[in-house]
Structure 1
Amino acid sequence: MDASDRKAAREHVTAALDGAASLVDQVALVPTEPGCYLWRDASGTVVYVGKAKNLRARLKQYVGLTDDRQKIPLMMQVVKSFDYVVVGSEYEALVLERNLIAQYHPYFNVDFKDDKSYPYIAVTESDVFPAIKYTREKHRKGTRYFGPYTDAKAARETIDTLRKFVPICSATCAEWKRARRLLEREPDQAAVANIVLAGKCRPCFDYHVGRGPGACCGAIDTVEYARHVRQVEDFLQGKRSHIVGELTEQMQEAAADLDFERAGRLKARLQGLNALDVKQQVMFSSDVDLDLIGFYREETISCACVFVVREGRTVRSVEFILDKGADVGEDELQAGFVKRYYDETADIPSEVCLSVALADSDVIAGWLAQKRGHNVRLHLPQRGEKRRLLQMAEANARHALMRYMVRTGYADDRTNKALLQLESALALDAPPMRIECFDISTLHGHFTVASMVVFTNGRPDKSQYRRFKIQTPLTEANDFVSMSEVLGRRYAPERMADARFGSRPDLLVVDGGKPQLTAAMEQLAALGLDIPVCGLAKSDEEVFVPWDETPVVLPSGSPSLYLIKQVRDESHRFAITFHRELRGKAMTASVLDDVPGVGPKRKRLLMREFGSLKRLRAADEEAIAAVPGVPAEVAHAVYQALHELA
């Protein structure tokens, strides 16, 4: 977290009267019971909702700034007041928290990026003859919802496919609506509904083509129709083996009764279901019911992908774009999504697989168990099939987020904002379309290297990356000297004229604080160059500039801070990769190059086989001699050389 953000927040919480000093006093009076709290800004708008087992202790973490989450200092700068609600248990606090977040949509809480309602498949269970429908409506009493889906087409196709296997009325059918109104006017006739409808209604088109059960014209009674409804709901929950068993039994009964027409219809439904199962990839040998939730995060946006596995098969996968990313902790992001997702779905499995442990996992598991009616386990798979599928969900989340960013122009808009913000914050003459960044990597003065990375139009331009071996003899790490050398070589007249090094940068970034910035300024002055330059310190993400003793602090979570950190981190990665490469080669060369019979080819064979000098040293003579192309006498010489060195 930026030091200035924390400092500003601390000044805010120590201000008088309307500031957070009064908040401190108010927090001291808050009870120590479980409940929910709501932070409000100056206009009274709720900016954050949270729950706590001990309200007073939790709120003290905010006003005392002892909560180490990135967003807290920034949030506390806008907070002016708070409310709280005391409840009887932490479980009740969790339920209330979800309701309050759904009501207020606070800015600092994790939520879906698209605030639209997602598609559901619904069954109107309160009707005498329940119907199936596609809907985006909020939950109505007496209706059971399955979903949410993120693909409207997939939801509609599921309904269409399902009605081919199990005839059930559609809520859009005009004849079903007419029958429904009739039964609502005569509720006492529900027990003989099929007889009543047979005399007053006509069959719909779906009934004639075999997709409707004929409830509208009395062709089916309520008991048989209820069996169809149960099969539909089992199908939507992924319980297909149960449906197959029931249909097989009904088909055999029809055949035994010589009702071959009905048996033929049931056989066609079974074949359709079996064909659908063939398309489903069997993931587990056992009939497990679980959800695997993978996440992928960018700086201020992320995606969650849910693999829904029922009876060992992946029933569907759904992706959700979230409005928080790396600006909140991984556990907070995942906990926020889990609460939101399972608050909106009735399809809760026996196990939910995540990649991180949640702080309130016991409470969330209890809440899910209460909704499901059976125990629910939150699991962190470390190996095996579940881990592989969780990684697959994470990969799908990454692809879904990339598609969203391309489709909405999110990345381009954010990059443009970043460049404009850097122009303003660093007092540049124009947006920095070409940024060059340098980093030094060394081991106590040995194997000292420098990296140069280039961002063009806010994107990495890897064809322009360069790396340098520092030639100045050093007995210890000296970033000042190393930075001076590499800048002198990069911006020498012959390199500036070399098209392979690209054009003059609009902004030069050095990884480090004042010393590195001073070295860069002195070297540029010696070369007679006037290039805008800044230094980025790792600790507090402060940007040092030549024209001010006080570092510039870019707003936390801003596109400009994200971009300049990305530039700095990329230069660090590129430098340390080169440094490790040189160090590894030197270590290998220093041992094996002096062994008789070991040349470049055999050295490559040995390192390819064992992977590292440490593993090669741990091997015995037989293992070394077993490497194709390494004779026994050479293996003996290698073994002796390595163990003499040890």
Structure 2
Amino acid sequence: MADPSTYRPAPGTIPDAPGVYRFYDAGGRVIYVGKAKSLRSRLSSYFADLAGLHPRTRQMVTSAAGVTWTVVGTEVEALQLEYSWIKEYDPRFNVRYRDDKSYPVLAVTLNEQYPRLHVYRGPRRKGVRYFGPYSHAWAIRETLDLLLRVFPARTCSGGVFKRHAQIGRPCLLGYIGKCSAPCVGRVDADEHRAIVEDFCDFLSGQTDQLVKRLDKAMQEASEQLEFERAARLRDDLEALRTAMAKQAVVLGDGTDADVVAFAEDELAAAVQVFHVRGGRVRGQRGWVIDKVDDTGIAELTSRFLTQFYGEQAALAEQADSGGVPVPREVLVPQLPDDAETITGWLGQVRGSKVRLRVPQRGDKRALLETVQRNAREAFQQYKLRRAGDLTARSAALQELQEALGLDEAPLRVECIDVSHVQGSDVVASLVVFEDGVPRKSEYRRFDVRGGAEGGDVGSISEVVRRRFARYLAETGHSAEHDAVPAPDAGPGAEGAEGASAPGIDPETGKPRKFSYPPNLLVIDGGGPQANAAADALTELGVTDVAVVGLAKRLEEIWLPGDPDPVVLPRSSEALYLLQRVRDEAHRFAISYHRSKRSKRLKASALDDIPGLGQTRKAALLKHFGSVKKLRQAGVAEIAAVPGIGRQTAETVHAALASGGGAGQQAAGPGRGPGPRTTEGESQ
């Protein structure tokens, strides 16, 4: 634990101006980013009496090894720079609003010739329009089921669409009127896109125009005695009204607002947001955070608005779908101290004026109170769910320290696992846990160059050597390294002096891939595997990393060189943590092995055909979908694939017809076993 006085800037060196500051640890990794109207006032508060600091703030300043700052011209610039640095560095001690669940959205693929409507989770893509988020995927499917009667757009995947186009028959939805069946030409691309655009207009809140248009069409059909068409339009109207009834009207028509509310205690906080568009609640989201300092509602509001709408703007830019990332009005329980600055920034993001205010009376005040009740309920559930977990993690780390005789609790644990099929396609995974939770951005995977030579022990030794050789190369000092100097804060920066830290990439300012060593290295295996890892570390001169092996069968912990294992009780939190780390490494290794093996086997039947390179193989597999369908194709069909001539098509057809490559479809030698880990258990 560092003493903040050892890196406190000299009196008078901190400017009394707005800016952004960064605390970094002994390895040069940024652990906290903040902004301030006055850097001098804000930074001085961190070096006050430790006993008076918030527990998380105290932990942050004692984990840090230095601080740097950058002076900016305005508070808006400080706001933007703080957001960009938090996003870039993902500092450990910053407040990060993380979804308390994964929210699905309704995606409309406008970038395709025949746009598709489907449930989606994941990163935003250009040319795709998104509606939501919805609280549940079934809510999207229920809405779609109602609206497809009125807007019979395509919902099938690309493979299904292509298959029905080939057979010339629509799917069930096409027969029952819930798809316009563009796959078989019932509508052309322009007609189908018009249907999709009407669907998007309806979900965007332009409901009244569509209802009036359908009502007028129904009346005209009735007057012209087209009763069947009138009945169909009547049913369409009823479906629209049913879908609209599921979205409660809470504010006047045309209201475009986000309503934000918080629930908090001394250590954590929860936030709920209702998205109101066209006077109706279109979506609801929730987040929970661990508070870094003694933060009130005003400061929580400021940080939330910056992060949330910054992310929304980035998603809108990424998707390039024309959506507006900020509504016309944002209703909050308390205005932040920098409300004018944030309002100006939100206006820049939206491209027009944005109102940020606290509703005092009426429907908007009532809705804010409803959102606050939701926040309190979500926060209570979160505390009940997480209270035991936080205590268990702390207990597990302390128990590991005592059981293994470590000098300090293993705050960073890495685990290595090897996966293969009887010695073929040997791969390894390395997973990282910090403070008892996964840090997936630092997971790594390896192709084992030695293959099956030396078995699992040899593979473990190779992976450990490669991982820690990279660590030594990137940090530039031995295992007994000294404190790392302060990183260069970049142009225009001031603060602690020193060159860039060895573990930090000078071009990006981010930690290099292998620049941080673990406190504990866990090997999936028993004594031989643990000994191999320890020997590899000794050869490299790394002496400050503890090594253990965790054997699956009896869950024994093997220390290098010890004849007998350490056996922890089955109810031990420390054992449970090690099992979680080992199982995550196993999962990551298996997924990589299967991915690599499937890519190899997918084209294996074509590997021995002369004149067929990677480009042509890829073209054939993309066109036919599988080797099985390629076998069933005739010479003319194969020759029709772009890049495949008549002569090549005849060669491919003859090779597959004679059974060429068939024996290579087996799942590895002997066909039977699946991927195996270092313990050799079939998965």
When normalised by structure 2's length, the TM-score is 0.48
8 Å Cα contact 2:147/2:240 also seen in 1: no
Q: Match of 1:375?
A: 353
Separation in structure 2 between the aligned mates of residue 25 and residue 326 of structure 1, nearest angstrom: 25
The letter for the 2-side match of 1:166 is F
Are residues 51 and 124 of structure 1, via their aligned partners in 2, closer, same or farther at CA, if it must alter by over 3 Å? farther
Of 20, 28, 31, which residue of structure 2 is paired with 1:44?
28
Separation in structure 1 between the aligned mates of residue 195 and residue 284 of structure 2, nearest angstrom: 26
Are residues 395 and 52 of structure 1, via their aligned partners in 2, closer, same or farther at CA, if it must alter by over 3 Å? same
2:266 is the alignment partner of 1:299: yes
2:221 is the alignment partner of 1:236: no
Give the SS at the match of 1:121.
Answer: strand
Are residues 35 and 200 of structure 1, via their aligned partners in 2, closer, same or farther at CA, if it must alter by over 3 Å? farther
Q: Which has the larger radius of gyration?
A: 1
Residues 130-166 of structure 1, C-alpha deviations (whole Å, 9 max, x = no match): 2222222111122222333443443443444443442
The letter for the 2-side match of 1:315 is R
2:96 is the alignment partner of 1:111: yes
Give the SS at the match of 2:187.
Answer: coil
2:117 is the alignment partner of 1:126: no
Residues 314-337 of structure 1, C-alpha deviations (whole Å, 9 max, x = no match): 334333333338842222222222
Residues 160-186 of structure 1, C-alpha deviations (whole Å, 9 max, x = no match): 44434422222536344679xxxxxxx
Are residues 75 and 325 of structure 1, via their aligned partners in 2, closer, same or farther at CA, if it must alter by over 3 Å? closer
8 Å Cα contact 2:133/2:283 also seen in 1: no
Separation in structure 2 between the aligned mates of residue 275 and residue 251 of structure 1, nearest angstrom: 18
**Map 1:176-575 → 2, pairs under 5 A:** 176=161, 202-252=169-219, 261-324=228-291, 327-345=294-312, 348-406=326-384, 408=385, 410-412=386-388
Residues 448-507 of structure 1, C-alpha deviations (whole Å, 9 max, x = no match): xxxxxxxxxxxxxxxxxxxxxxxxxxxxxxxxxxxxxxxxxxxxxxxxxxxxxxxxxxxx
Which moves more between the two structures, 137-146 or 216-225?
216-225
Give the SS at the match of 2:250.
Answer: coil
Deviation at 1:294, TM superposition (A): 1.7
Deviation at 1:380, TM superposition (A): 0.4
Deviation at 1:218, TM superposition (A): 2.7
8 Å Cα contact 2:301/2:335 also seen in 1: no
Deviation at 1:88, TM superposition (A): 8.1
The letter for the 2-side match of 1:401 is F
Separation in structure 2 between the aligned mates of residue 40 and residue 96 of structure 1, nearest angstrom: 17
8 Å Cα contact 1:175/1:201 also seen in 2: no
Give the SS at the match of 1:148.
Answer: coil
Q: Match of 1:535?
A: none
Residues 268-287 of structure 1, C-alpha deviations (whole Å, 9 max, x = no match): 22112213334444333454
Separation in structure 2 between the aligned mates of residue 268 and residue 25 of structure 1, nearest angstrom: 76
Structure 1 gaps of 5+ residues are 1-7, 180-196, 422-646
8 Å Cα contact 1:147/1:347 also seen in 2: no
Give the SS at the match of 1:293.
Answer: strand
Give the SS at the match of 1:357.
Answer: coil
Deviation at 1:393, TM superposition (A): 1.0
Of 126, 137, 151, which residue of structure 2 is paired with 1:166?
151
8 Å Cα contact 1:125/1:143 also seen in 2: yes
2:60 is the alignment partner of 1:75: yes
2:8 is the alignment partner of 1:20: yes
Identity %: 36
8 Å Cα contact 2:274/2:284 also seen in 1: yes
Separation in structure 1 between the aligned mates of residue 163 and residue 36 of structure 2, nearest angstrom: 51
Separation in structure 2 between the aligned mates of residue 395 and residue 352 of structure 1, nearest angstrom: 18
Deviation at 1:420, TM superposition (A): 13
Q: Match of 2:642?
A: none
8 Å Cα contact 2:270/2:379 also seen in 1: yes
8 Å Cα contact 1:69/1:328 also seen in 2: no
8 Å Cα contact 1:167/1:212 also seen in 2: yes
Separation in structure 2 between the aligned mates of residue 238 and residue 288 of structure 1, nearest angstrom: 10
Separation in structure 2 between the aligned mates of residue 218 and residue 390 of structure 1, nearest angstrom: 50
Are residues 83 and 21 of structure 1, via their aligned partners in 2, closer, same or farther at CA, if it must alter by over 3 Å? closer
The letter for the 2-side match of 1:147 is G
Separation in structure 2 between the aligned mates of residue 95 and residue 162 of structure 1, nearest angstrom: 41
Deviation at 1:36, TM superposition (A): 4.8
Separation in structure 2 between the aligned mates of residue 177 and residue 57 of structure 1, nearest angstrom: 64
Are residues 143 and 74 of structure 1, via their aligned partners in 2, closer, same or farther at CA, if it must alter by over 3 Å? same
8 Å Cα contact 2:147/2:243 also seen in 1: no
**Map 1:590-629 → 2, pairs under 5 A:** none
Residues 173-231 of structure 1, C-alpha deviations (whole Å, 9 max, x = no match): 6344679xxxxxxxxxxxxxxxxx8x996533322222222222332344443333333
2:123 is the alignment partner of 1:138: yes
The letter for the 2-side match of 1:234 is D
8 Å Cα contact 2:325/2:349 also seen in 1: no
Give the SS at the match of 1:216.
Answer: helix
The letter for the 2-side match of 1:245 is K
8 Å Cα contact 2:20/2:69 also seen in 1: yes
Separation in structure 2 between the aligned mates of residue 87 and residue 129 of structure 1, nearest angstrom: 48
Residues 350-405 of structure 1, C-alpha deviations (whole Å, 9 max, x = no match): 21111111233334334433444443211101222222221111111111222233
Separation in structure 2 between the aligned mates of residue 201 and residue 365 of structure 1, nearest angstrom: 56
Deviation at 1:60, TM superposition (A): 4.7
Separation in structure 1 between the aligned mates of residue 258 and residue 26 of structure 2, nearest angstrom: 41
Give the SS at the match of 2:178.
Answer: coil
Residues 393-448 of structure 1, C-alpha deviations (whole Å, 9 max, x = no match): 11111112222333x2x234567899999xxxxxxxxxxxxxxxxxxxxxxxxxxx
Separation in structure 1 between the aligned mates of residue 373 and residue 199 of structure 2, nearest angstrom: 32
Separation in structure 1 between the aligned mates of residue 106 and residue 13 of structure 2, nearest angstrom: 47
Are residues 114 and 383 of structure 1, via their aligned partners in 2, closer, same or farther at CA, if it must alter by over 3 Å? closer
Are residues 295 and 261 of structure 1, via their aligned partners in 2, closer, same or farther at CA, if it must alter by over 3 Å? same
Separation in structure 2 between the aligned mates of residue 334 and residue 268 of structure 1, nearest angstrom: 45
Deviation at 1:299, TM superposition (A): 3.0
Separation in structure 2 between the aligned mates of residue 325 and residue 281 of structure 1, nearest angstrom: 37
8 Å Cα contact 1:175/1:202 also seen in 2: no
Give the SS at the match of 1:20.
Answer: coil
Residues 599-626 of structure 1, C-alpha deviations (whole Å, 9 max, x = no match): xxxxxxxxxxxxxxxxxxxxxxxxxxxx
Are residues 387 and 258 of structure 1, via their aligned partners in 2, closer, same or farther at CA, if it must alter by over 3 Å? same
Q: Relative contact order: is structure 1 or structure 2 higher (C-alpha 8 Å, sep ≥ 6)?
A: 2
Are residues 247 and 336 of structure 1, via their aligned partners in 2, closer, same or farther at CA, if it must alter by over 3 Å? farther
8 Å Cα contact 2:263/2:372 also seen in 1: yes
Structure 2 gaps of 5+ residues are 313-323, 398-683
Which moves more between the two structures, 382-391 or 252-261?
252-261
Give the SS at the match of 1:403.
Answer: helix
Separation in structure 2 between the aligned mates of residue 228 and residue 373 of structure 1, nearest angstrom: 30
CA-atom RMSD in angstroms: 4.2
Q: Higher helix share goes to which structure?
A: 1
